[in-house]
Amino acid sequence: MEIIRLKKRINFLSLFCFLIAISTSFVSCSERGVIKNESKAISNETWSEKEPILFEFDIKDTVNYFDVLITLRNNENYEWSNVYLFSDLSFPNGKTRRDTLEITLADKYGNWLGNNSGTLITTEARLINHRKFPLSGAYKMLITHGMRVKELKNVSSIGLKIKQWEAKNK
């Protein structure tokens, strides 16, 4: 009986130590240079072309270069192998710049290219590469889909990540 209690106590302590180690590693490994990382859920996984996703962020650094990435999460019932997105970036001075981005989600055989987690696929694509923000202040980015359907089904969220650019050969 004493051996069974000892084994249970060791199993509990092992599990406890494992959970502490995992949670510590998540806290300590945040990505360097990220100034914005936000994701917005799509209601009922149906994204209407008339419902842009709004992201707002402040830029203070006009000296360093940044990358802007879009993260799209879809489920495996998404009907296409790609998605077209329009991004409208509004600068602090009121001017706006529109970009179009095609994100390839699956290869020609229908295999998802993003990271799978159960039935959810997460794909990250670079919208702006190695650019400076010319003005400090409040920026807004509106993201809309540019597909040929009015409602894009099986899309669960859109994310925006802005991080300081890092040279690969430092």
pLDDT at 75 > cutoff 90: yes
pLDDT at 88 > cutoff 50: yes
Mean of all residue pLDDT scores within the chain? 86
In the chain, where are the structural domains located? 1-30, 33-164
Cα–Cα distance measured from residue 155 to residue 101, given in angstroms and rounded to the nearest whole number: 16
93-109 pLDDT per residue, tens: 999 999 999 999 999 99
Confidence of residue 32 (pLDDT cuts 50, 70, 90): confident
Identify the pLDDT of residue 140.
98
Contact 101, 147 (CB under 8 A): no
Please give, one letter per residue, the 3-state secondary structure of 86-106: EEEEECCCCCEEEEEEEEECE
Contact 138, 56 (CB under 8 A): yes
pLDDT at 13 > cutoff 90: no
Enter the DSSP assignment of 112. Answer: B
Confidence of residue 128 (pLDDT cuts 50, 70, 90): very high
pLDDT at 127 > cutoff 90: yes
C-alpha torsion sign, points 74, 80, 83, 84 = negative
40-62 pLDDT per residue, tens: 999 999 999 999 999 999 999 99
Identify the pLDDT of residue 166.
80
Lowest mean pLDDT among 6-10, 79-83, 121-125, 163-167: 6-10
pLDDT at 84 > cutoff 60: yes
When the candidates are 2.60.290, 1.10.10, 2.40.170, 2.160.20, the CATH number that belongs to 33-164 is 2.60.290
pLDDT at 26 > cutoff 90: no
